[in-house]
Structure 1
Amino acid sequence: MSTAAVAVLLVASMLAVGTAAIVEDFRALVRRRGLVAVAVAANVVVLPGLAVALVTAAGLAPEVALGVVLAAAAPGGGTGALLTLHARGDLAVSTGLQVLLGPLGLVSVPVWAAAVGQGAVPAGGVGLLVVGGGLLGQVVPLAVGMWLRRSRPQTAARIHPVTRRVADVLLAVLVLYFLITGVGRLPQVGWAGVTVIAVLVIVSVAPVVLPWCGSVAQRRAVAMTTGVRNLTLGLFFAAAASPTVVLAVLAYGLLMYGICVPVALTLARSKPIAAA
């Protein structure tokens, strides 16, 4: 259920984002090379590297350690841009980063899984085909939404609030699902594992207060994009491993949304900030 819900949420979120974004936003992102470099490094190197260091230092069980690393190493979660919308962040930065980070996850996840001595890619080409389908689930609705915004703005204006509302409802349902199915099973992950995940999520949203991550709106975008990991990708690789690995990824999702959603809603009550 969780994998299907995340996939549907991904499509709805990207369609909502696409109907609010324009091509010029991405052209502006190209000019922010320093910001992009910092965000990519945070998502692909710093956070998963920290995850490997923490699971090793905490002495987590191999399967739990793998689940935590899979989640931390999977960048470009589809609801990052959705939460950026709520947090009044720079949507162009968040959307552009999602599109950029999605393909990087195909490399990042197997590499960091190997760093904890585990393989992540299923045998044969099945794994890559399924992950490629997940990428299409991001790119296609985003492209359709942006095409509507450019060529049929009135239609996009009608679709945007609907898709955003659907995405909001799905996000609420997903968080509730994680709460119902995950809280009682957290002891199986171990409190050391829960602590490691909490530290990782808190670190991932830290850019919101780091001045070198750009303007306030840009920092919010980087924080939400980094905070929300690609659970679809993480769960896919975890399902090919074992139920314990899946549980660890779900535990990450529970804490991820449990921290990122309140942060975004708190920022939503602040004054609107224009994109830089």
Structure 2
Amino acid sequence: MDTLHLLFNAVTIVFIAATMFAAGLGATLPALRAVLTNVVLLVLVLLANLVVVPLLGWGVAALFGLPAAASVALLLIASSPGGPFGAKLGMVQSGDVVAGAAMQVLLAAIGSITFGPTANVLLKAAAVGGGVALDVPALMLTVAVLQLVPFAVGLVVRHYAPATALSWHPVAARTSNVTFLAVLAGMLVGNWRDVVALIGSLSLLAGLVFSVLAFTLGTALATGPPARRTTMGSVAAVRNAGPALAAVGLAFGDEPAVLGALAAVLLSGLAAAVLIAAVLSRRRAAALREDA
């Protein structure tokens, strides 16, 4: 069991680092500057992802009366912006991929700092987690090292050696995808009893509703053409699993009930976000055919 636990932690670290390294390799300074100079869009997206969506998670958990483990999982996820699949869903829906990728990276970077304090406040306000408070400095250090350093390295490589970055990016992206699936599988297999126990409860439905509402709010709190706004919706709906996983390990000792709930909520939320992106993609493809 100890070996499996160490393996799971190692794969989780690889997932977080590879995801941020791939994001850095795929980012450019002009794209980041374009996002940072669009002040209205920037303020609205930060408001949506750092304030509104975390409060939404708290509201959904309270509305559905979730048990403690599921509430902790949902609050951790809601507090963690910048999920790497947000930008990818922008591609799936034929949205504004450049803005989506740049904003996802920015949110992941900022979220590495804001996640700990936000989750700590929500856990205390919701009175869940058995009174356990997150060690904010340790969590900030862990998340910052695992996310900001790989992203910075990738960005430097992209800026000074673009050909190398483009050749490395597919490998880093595949590593991110594979390890993400491995992390989800590890959470499900290692905590399948807790996941099965959630079937028939409101936890899975709460994760789905949270994702749909986060997409709606993220789309509403954005500017620009519909493709850009719905891309911002996808970015808001898909949260960053890395900090949440780090928090479960640091604050809850990889408690099986919390890990199982985290896997279930992540899967149900991701399923909802993928479905929305697929519907948007079909509508836009149909619109293009009609125009042609």
Q: Which TM-score band (shorter chain)?
A: 0.7 to 0.9
d(CA) in 2 for partners of 1:223 and 1:117? 29
Paired letter, 1:156: A
Contact 2:20 2:151 in 1 (8 A): yes
CA-atom RMSD in angstroms: 3.0
Q: 1:86 to 1:254 in 2, by over 3 A?
A: same
The within-5 A match list for 1:150-161 is: 150-161=159-170
**Identity across matched positions, percent:** 25
Counterpart contact for 1:6–1:231, Cα < 8 Å: no
Between the aligned partners of 2:93 and 2:188, the Cα distance in structure 1 is 23
| Greater mean alpha carbon deviation, residues 103-112 or residues 3-12 | 3-12
- Number of aligned pairs? 268
**In the aligned structure 2, how far is the partner of 1:210 from the partner of 1:2?**
38
Between the aligned partners of 2:236 and 2:246, the Cα distance in structure 1 is: 19
Equivalent in 231, 241, 247 of residue 260 of structure 2: 247
Q: Which moved more, 1:257-266 or 1:45-54?
A: 257-266
Structure 1 equivalent of residue 72 of structure 2:
66
Counterpart contact for 1:3–1:232, Cα < 8 Å: no
TM-score, length-normalised on structure 2? 0.77
Against the structure 1 CA distance between its residues 172 and 117, is the aligned structure 2 distance closer, same or farther, given a 3 Å change threshold?
closer
1:45 pairs, out of 48, 51, 75, with 51
Instruction: Name stretches of at least 5 consecutive residues in structure 2 with no aligned partner.
Output: 1-6, 286-292
Match of residue 272 from structure 2: 259
> TM-score, normalised to structure 1's length?
0.81
Aligned positions of 1:1-276 closer than 5 A: 3-88=9-94, 89=97, 90=99, 91-118=101-128, 119-122=131-134, 128-177=137-186, 185-189=194-198, 191-206=201-216, 210=220, 212-239=222-249, 240-241=251-252, 242-264=255-277
Mean CA deviation greater in 262-271 or 136-145: 262-271
Deviation at 1:28, TM superposition (A): 1.2
Hey, what's the Cα distance between the residues in 2 that align with 1:265 and 1:160?
A: 25
User: What code does the residue aligned with 1:93 have?
Assistant: M
Indicate the SS of the match to 1:37. helix
Q: How has the CA–CA distance of structure 1 residues 39 and 10 changed in structure 2, closer, same or farther, with 3 Å as cutoff?
A: same
Deviations 1:116-170 (A, max 9, x none): 0144534xx6x53244222222212221222112111121121112212222333
Determine the C-alpha separation between the residues in 2 that align with 1:268 and 1:144.
33
